[in-house]
C-alpha cells in the first residue's frame, strides 16, 4: 500500500516515520520547502523530538520512507493520503483551514486511482464533510472513488514517537466499511485499541480530550492560587487527590499555565465553535481565562518585591513551553520576557534546546546561554519557566553564591520549600 503524508511537522513527520517503522515500505512525505526536504533525506529533523532522527535515518536507509516537494507524483497513485498540515489560530480564535484546503485541491487534481484521504490535522467538527465535498467538486478524474476519514492525533511534544508507537488508542471516524477496512489494515501492526466512530464524533473526541486536559490544568492553577491565600500546599492537595481513580494523577501539577501548539489553540477553537453555534461552553471559557491570567503571575509578583526591573539583571530559566521540546509556541516565557523588557530589565535566558527558536522571537534583545551558572551570575531576580532536568537538579546553594540577590520565583515548583528556606534563598512558588 502506498502511503503519502502531506506535511512534515510534528504530526506528519512522526506519523510517516512511525508508519515506516512498523513495516510499511512505501511511505512518501510531502513538503513545499526544498531545503527542508533535503535535510529530511539526510536524517535531520526540523523539530526536536526524542528518538525521531534515529528512526528517520533507519527507515530512509531501508528505503521505506522518502521525502519530496513533488506532490503530484506523491499523490497520483497513493492508496491513502494523510493530511497533517497546520490549522493555526485566527485572530478570532477560529481554526484557519487554508492549508488543508490547499492540499485538498492538490490531491483532487492529482489522483489517478481510488484513494482514501485521512485528515490528521485538528479541525472543527464538520470539516471532514466539507473537505470531502470540496474535493469531489474539484476532482479531475470524476470516475474515481475518493472518501475522507478523520484520524485525529494524540501526540504530546517531547514524547511524540512513543505516543504513536504505543498509543492509548487510535480514533478513526469513517462513513463506510471501505474506509474502515483500509484504516484497520494500516493500524493493525500497532496492536493498539481502535475506536471506530463517525467523522463528527472523531473530530469532537480530539477537541474534547485536549480541552479536558486543559481544564484540569487550569482548575489546579485556580486551586493553587487559593491555596496561597488560605495557607494550603497545592502539592499536598494534588497528591491527596491523585489516589482517587475517578480523578487520576496526571495533569494535577500547578504552574504558570499551559502552552504549546495544542491546548491554547484547541480551547479557543472549541470555544469559538460553540459560540458560532449559539452555545457557550462556560467551562472551556473559564479555562482560557485562568490560563491567560496565570502566565504573568511570577513577573508581577517579582515586580512587587523589587519595585522596578530597570537596569536589573533578571534570569529566566527555561524558554520552551515544557521540557523535552524546542517548541516556543504559546510558551509562558514569551509574555514574561516581554513584560520584563518593557520595564527595562536586562534579561538573560537559559534553555536546553529552545534558544534558536527564541531568537526568532526576541533576536538580540535578550542574552542566551545553555549554562545556568552564567545566566544567574549577578542576577537580582530569577524566574523559573520550564522544569528542565538541569533546573530541577541544579545545586540550590549556587543561587545564594552566584546571584546578586537570591530571589527565586519558581513557576514549576521545582524545589522543596524547606531546602530553599534553609539555604537562605527568598523563594516563591505556585500554590505553596
Alpha-carbon gap, residue 427 to 432, rounded angstroms? 10
Q: Are 89 and 95 in contact (CB under 8 A)?
A: yes
One domain, residues 268 and 402 = no
Are residues 303 and 280 both part of a single domain? no
Let me know if residue 342 belongs to a domain: yes
pLDDT over 90 at 44, yes or no: yes
Question: Which pLDDT belongs to residue 29?
Answer: 98
Residues 277 and 382 in one domain: no
Dist CA 114 CA 18 (whole Å):
24
Residue 375 CA to residue 322 CA, distance in Å, equals 19
pLDDT at 43: 96
pLDDT per residue over 350-402, tens digit each? 999 999 999 999 999 999 999 999 999 999 999 999 999 999 999 999 999 99
Q: Cα–Cα distances in Å, from 23 out to 8, 81, 297?
A: 19, 17, 48
State the catalytic residue, choosing from 29, 227, 262, 414.
262
- CA distance linking residue 56 with residue 174, whole number of Å: 30
CATH no. for residue 398?
Answer: 3.40.50.720
Mean pLDDT, rounded, for 193-200: 98
- Helix/strand/coil percentages in the chain, nearest 5: 45, 15, 40
pLDDT at 13: 97
Query: Rounded distance, CA 83 to CA 81, Å?
Result: 6
Handedness of CA 293, 295, 296, 299 (dihedral sign): positive
The pLDDT, as a whole number, for residue 192 is 94
Q: How far apart are CA 16 and CA 14, in angstroms?
A: 6
**Residue 120: partners with Cβ closer than 8 Å, 6 or more residues away:** 11, 12, 15, 82, 83, 84, 151, 152, 153
Number of compact structural domains in the chain: 3
pLDDT tens figures, 2-32: 999 999 999 999 999 999 999 999 999 999 9
Does residue 25 sit in the same domain as residue 166? Answer: yes
Exposed / middle / buried, residue 233 (Cβ in 10 Å: 0-12, 13-18, 19+):
middle
**Alpha-carbon torsion, ordered 386, 389, 392, 398, to 10 deg:** -100
Q: What pLDDT is recorded for position 93?
A: 87
Strand pairing partners for 147? 116
Same domain, 313 and 399: yes
Beta strands in 34-191 (DSSP E): 65-68, 80-83, 115-119, 146-150, 170-173
Asked whether residue 146 is domain-assigned, the answer is: yes
Sheet of 65-68, strands arranged across: 65-68, 27-30, 3-6, 80-83, 115-119, 146-150, 170-173, 194-197
**pLDDT average, residue stretch 150-175:** 95
Is the pLDDT reported for residue 261 higher than 90?
no
Give yes or no: residues 216 and 128 share one domain.
Answer: no
The band of 427, judged by pLDDT with boundaries at 50, 70 and 90, is very high
Last residue of a domain, one of 273, 292, 311: 292
Looking at the fold, whether 186 and 266 belong to one and the same domain comes out as no
Residue 242 included in any domain: no
Q: Nearest 5°: phi and psi at 82?
A: -95, 130
The cell numbers describing 213, all together, are 486536559
Do residues 223 and 315 both lie within one domain? no
Does residue 261 or residue 276 have the better pLDDT? 276
What is the gyration radius of the CA atoms in the chain, in angstroms? 24
Q: Could you tell me which residues are beta bridge partners of residue 428?
A: 409
Q: Which residues pair with 173 in a beta bridge?
A: 150, 197
Please tell me the distance from the alpha carbon of residue 278 to that of residue 272, in angstroms, as a whole number.
10
Measured CA to CA, the distance from residue 373 to residue 367 in angstroms comes to 13
| Residue 236 is assigned to a structural domain of this protein | no
Residue 165's contacts (CB-CB under 8 Å, 6 or more residues apart) are 18, 21, 22, 190
Same domain assignment for residues 173 and 139: yes
The DSSP line for 216-238 is HHHHHHHHHHHHHHHT--HHHHH
- Residue 377: name the closest of 348, 398, 402 by CA: 402
Residue 262 appears among annotated catalytic residues? yes
Same domain? For 361 and 303 the reply is yes
Determine what percent of the chain is predicted with pLDDT higher than 90.
97
User: Taking the model in full, what pTM does it have?
Assistant: 0.91
Cell numbers 487550569: residue:
218
SS3 state at 250: coil
Domain housing 76:
3-197
Asked if residue 395 is part of any domain, the answer here is yes
* pLDDT tens-digit series, residues 55-77: 999 999 999 999 999 999 999 99
Give yes or no: residues 261 and 124 share one domain. Answer: no
What is the spatial distance between Cα 223 and Cα 77, in angstroms, rounded to a whole number? 54
Do the domain assignments include residue 241? no
Assigned domain for 172 exists: yes
Task: Give the contacts of 107 (CB within 8 A, at least 6 positions apart).
Answer: 6, 75, 81, 83, 115, 117, 135
- Judgement on whether residues 303 and 283 belong to the same structural domain of the protein: no
DSSP 95: B
Q: What is the band of 157 on the pLDDT scale with cuts at 50, 70, 90?
A: confident
Which three cell numbers mark 415? 524545589
404 falls within a domain: yes
Amino acid at each position: 500500500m502506498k502511503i503519502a503524508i502531506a506535511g512534515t511537522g510534528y504530526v506528519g513527520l512522526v506519523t510517516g516515520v512511525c508508519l515506516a517503522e512498523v513495516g510499511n515500505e512505501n511511505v512518501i512525505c510531502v513538503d513545499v520547502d526544498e531545503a527542508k526536504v533535503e535535510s529530511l533525506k539526510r536524517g535531520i529533523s526540523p523539530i526536536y523530538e526524542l528518538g525521531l532522527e534515529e528512526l528517520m535515518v533507519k527507515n530512509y536507509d531501508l528505503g521505506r520512507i522518502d521525502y519530496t516537494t513533488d506532490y503530484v507524483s506523491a499523490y497520483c497513485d497513493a492508496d491513502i493520503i494523510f493530511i497533517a498540515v497546520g490549522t493555526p489560530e485566527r485572530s478570532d480564535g477560529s481554526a484557519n483551514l487554508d492549508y488543508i484546503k490547499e492540499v485538498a485541491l492538490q490531491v483532487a487534481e492529482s489522483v489517478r486511482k481510488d484513494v482514501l484521504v485521512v485528515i490528521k490535522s485538528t479541525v472543527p467538527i464538520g470539516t471532514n464533510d466539507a473537505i470531502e465535498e470540496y474535493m469531489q467538486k474539484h476532482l479531475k478524474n470524476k470516475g474515481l472513488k475518493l472518501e475522507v476519514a478523520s484520524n485525529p492525533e494524540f501526540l504530546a511534544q517531547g514524547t511524540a514517537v512513543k505516543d504513536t508507537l504505543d498509543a492509548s488508542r487510535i480514533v478513526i471516524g469513517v462513513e463506510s466499511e471501505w474506509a474502515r477496512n483500509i484504516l484497520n489494515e494500516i493500524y493493525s501492526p500497532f496492536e493498539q485499541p481502535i475506536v471506530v466512530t463517525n467523522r463528527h464524533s472523531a473530530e469532537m473526541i480530539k477537541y474534547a480530550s485536549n480541552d479536558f486536559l486543559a481544564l484540569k490544568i487550569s482548575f489546579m492553577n485556580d486551586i493553587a492560587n487559593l491555596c496561597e491565600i488560605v495557607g494550603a500546599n497545592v502539592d499536598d492537595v494534588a497528591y491527596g487527590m491523585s489516589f482517587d481513580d475517578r480523578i487520576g494523577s496526571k495533569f494535577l501539577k500547578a504552574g504558570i499555565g499551559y502552552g504549546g501548539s495544542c491546548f491554547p489553540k484547541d480551547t479557543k477553537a472549541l470555544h469559538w465553535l460553540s459560540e458560532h453555534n449559539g452555545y457557550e461552553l462556560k467551562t472551556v471559557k473559564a479555562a482560557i481565562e485562568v490560563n491567560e491570567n496565570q502566565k504573568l503571575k511570577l513577573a508581577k509578583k517579582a515586580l512587587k518585591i523589587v519595585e522596578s526591573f530597570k537596569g536589573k539583571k533578571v534570569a529566566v530559566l527555561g524558554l520552551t513551553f515544557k521540557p523535552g521540546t524546542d517548541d516556543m509556541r504559546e510558551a509562558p516565557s514569551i509574555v514574561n520576557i516581554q513584560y520584563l523588557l518593557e520595564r527595562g530589565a536586562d534579561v538573560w535566558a537559559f534553555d536546553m534546546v529552545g534558544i534558536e527558536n527564541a531568537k526568532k522571537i526576541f533576536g538580540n534583545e535578550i542574552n542566551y546561554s545553555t549554562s545556568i551558572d552564567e545566566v544567574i551570575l549577578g542576577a537580582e531576580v530569577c524566574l523559573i519557566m520550564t522544569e528542565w532536568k538541569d533546573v530541577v537538579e541544579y545545586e540550590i546553594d549556587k543561587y545564594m553564591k552566584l546571584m546578586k540577590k537570591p530571589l527565586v520565583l519558581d513557576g514549576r515548583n521545582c524545589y522543596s520549600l524547606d531546602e530553599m528556606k534553609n539555604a537562605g534563598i527568598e523563594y516563591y512558588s505556585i500554590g505553596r
